[in-house]
Structure 1
Amino acid sequence: MEYRTLGKTGLKISRMGFGGIPIQKIDEEGTKKLLHAMAEKGINYIDSARGYTVSEQYIGYGLEGIRDKFVLATKSMSRTKEAMAADIETSLGNFRTDYIDLYQVHNPSMEQLDQVIGEGGALEALMEAKAAGTIGHIGLTAHSTAVFERALELDWVETIMFPYNIVEQQGAELIHKCAEKNIGFIDMKPLAGGAIEDGTLALRYVCSNPDVTVVIPGMAEIRELDENMAACSNAAPLTEEELAKMDKVREQLGNDFCRRCNYCAPCTVGINIPSVFLFAGYLQRYDLADWAKERYSTLKVKASACIGCGKCEPRCPYHLPIREKLKVCAKDMGE
């Protein structure tokens, strides 16, 4: 396994890490087995989040006795100082540890980022925790290229997490800027939320980009761990056959995959279309129905509110049949 320095943090981490979403489907013992296997194979980066239901707790159980073998990262959607301070304490308790290596501001909008960095914002709690030694470093995650670009200019941001894969390349130039600015880049959704079926091909593509510091595929089984590690450890250049397969994946998903570019906005009735598709994907591809519906319930306007005006579709650079996809999401989500 190749190791990289995670940007300004100075942390030495494995090129492949562990994404903590899918372990919600298993249990504490299964997570412990997986983490011990990771430790034996030299994989030392773990990603979780306050919003991933039991993920932090399962990981904390699995880390008993081997905490020092891992760089531990999590994230919170809290935007105020008080709420972020509470989430940090909760994460420390869940992980059964007295420090977390990387704590990230989780997917803020531009307006929410203003709140985070303003007076009484979440950044104050993160800075205080960093000074106290309960967290080591501060990062940010995003789905919006506008937020990504802004984060590159914030001096407190030591790492940035963003989707990047065979079909989602809207952040490629910004990922390169991360490398230029010595900001660690953490690649989420390397399999496009499960839409790309060939995991080996997907991970080979991501790892072929030298600007990606670490890729974090979600895993719940030893079999997945072994397959993903084999793909990420293969440093051979991409073959013509692999490149042809990637083109085919783009062709197949090109008419049926949301890249969350948000060009479809504004919706006539206020539907956050990319978020609807994102949450529905957790149900449709990850089989995480309860968690997906819980997140979907936070949306002020549901997919069923679509009036079929069609104004969004000409704006979509990928020509998605948005209205039809919203109908499917409304049916799957129950509203």
Structure 2
Amino acid sequence: MEYTYLGKTGLRISRMGFGGIPIQKIDAEGTRTLMHKLAEEGVNYIDTARGYTVSEEYLGYGLEGIRDQFVIATKSMSRTKDAMAADIQISLNNLRTDHIDLYQVHNPSMDQLEQVIGKGGALEALEEAKASGKIGHIGLTAHSTAVFEKALELDWVETIMFPYNIVENQGEELIRKCAEKGIGFIDMKPLAGGAIEDGRLALRYVCSNPDVTVTIPGMAEIAELEENIAACSDQTPLTLEEKEKMDEVRRQLGTNFCRRCNYCAPCSVGIGIPNVFLMEGYLLRYNLEEWARARYEKLPVKASACIGCGKCETRCPYHLPIRQMLKKAAQEFGE
């Protein structure tokens, strides 16, 4: 495992970390098994969030007895001082620890960022928690390049998390600036939220960029962990064949695709929007028509149930035309 320092935090971390979203679909014992395997393999960076339902709790259970072998990062969408202080304490309790190495402001809009740094904003709670030793460092996550660019100007921001993968390189110049300024860059969505089928190819691309401090693929199984470690540990230059495959992925996906972040939820009529688009991807891109149609059929609410209210589109950080995309998916599946 290759190690590096997380920008000016001084934290020594593995170049590949652990993304804590998928463990919501397993259980606490499965998480414990994964955590011990991480320790064995030398993966020491863990990412989770207050918003990932049971993720913090499962990780707290799974890390008992081995917590000191890991750098733990979590985040909160709270924007006010009181709400952020409450979330920090909940995170400490869930993670069963007396300190969290990195606490991040989770995906603020430009207006929300102003609230965070203003009087009575979340930054006050973060700085107080840092002074008291409850948290070690402060970072920020974003899906917007405007927020990313603004974060680079804020002296309290020690790390920035942003999507970067084969089909999303809109932040590449800003990622380079992170390296110049000593800000740790944490790469989320290395597989574009699961849209990129070839995980090894996706991780090879991300790790070929020396400005990426750490990438955090989500994992829920030992097999996924082993495959990801193999990909991130391969430091040989990208081959012509790999680059051609990457070009093909770009042609297939373009930019108008769902990253499965689920920020669009809840749907007014209960459509599992990311699941619809996931099945559509299997149907159209991966030659798995029978498999995709069978699983789509089991979805409790189909794409055709969309009432066109548009609430999902106001929440989507990628500004996708979700209503139009749902209509197209309904046509593809015939319901």
Tell me the TM-score normalised to structure 1 length.
0.82
- The C-alpha deviation readout for 1:86-129, integer Å capped at 9, x for no partner, is 00000000000000000000000000000000000000000000
Q: Distance in 1 between matches of 2:207 and 2:76?
A: 27
Match in the other structure for 2:131: 131
Match in the other structure for 1:47: 47
Match in the other structure for 2:274: 281
Match in the other structure for 1:17: 17
Match in the other structure for 1:88: 88
The 5 A counterparts of 1:1-335 are 1-254=1-254, 256-257=256-257, 276=264, 280-281=273-274, 284-285=277-278, 304-305=308-309, 324-327=324-327
- Name the SS for the 1:13 alignment partner: strand
Shift in CA distance, 181/49, structure 1 to aligned 2, threshold 3 Å: same
Q: State the one-letter code of the partner of 2:274.
A: G
- What is the aligned-residue identity percentage? 75
| Structure 1 residue 305 displacement after superposition | 2.1
Shift in CA distance, 20/218, structure 1 to aligned 2, threshold 3 Å: same
Q: Would you say the 8 A contact 2:76–2:106 is kept in 1? A: yes
Q: Distance in 1 between matches of 2:216 and 2:329?
A: 27
| Structure 1 residue 323 displacement after superposition | 5.0
| Structure 1 residue 277 displacement after superposition | 9.4
Q: Distance in 2 between matches of 1:111 and 1:326?
A: 29
Return 59-68 or 274-283, whichever deviates more: 274-283
Shift in CA distance, 83/110, structure 1 to aligned 2, threshold 3 Å: same
Q: Would you say the 8 A contact 1:140–1:151 is kept in 2? A: yes
Q: State the one-letter code of the partner of 1:53.
A: T
How many pairs align? 294
Q: State the one-letter code of the partner of 1:305.
A: C
Q: Distance in 2 between matches of 1:48 and 1:220?
A: 13
- The C-alpha deviation readout for 1:247-304, integer Å capped at 9, x for no partner, is 00000001642689xxxxxxxxxxxxx9549983367549xxxxxx9xxxxxxxx972
Q: Would you say the 8 A contact 1:80–1:116 is kept in 2? A: yes
| Structure 1 residue 215 displacement after superposition | 0.2
| Structure 1 residue 212 displacement after superposition | 0.1
Q: Which runs of 5 or more structure 2 residues have no equivalent in the other structure?
A: 267-271, 280-299, 301-305, 311-317
Q: Distance in 2 between matches of 1:181 and 1:242?
A: 31
| Structure 1 residue 326 displacement after superposition | 4.1
Q: Distance in 2 between matches of 1:283 and 1:20?
A: 22
Q: Distance in 1 between matches of 2:90 and 2:137?
A: 17
Tell me the TM-score normalised to structure 2 length.
0.82
Q: Would you say the 8 A contact 1:276–1:303 is kept in 2? A: no
Q: Distance in 2 between matches of 1:259 and 1:195?
A: 7
Q: Distance in 1 between matches of 2:188 and 2:307?
A: 25
Q: Which runs of 5 or more structure 1 residues have no equivalent in the other structure?
A: 261-273, 287-292, 294-301, 307-315
| Structure 1 residue 39 displacement after superposition | 0.2
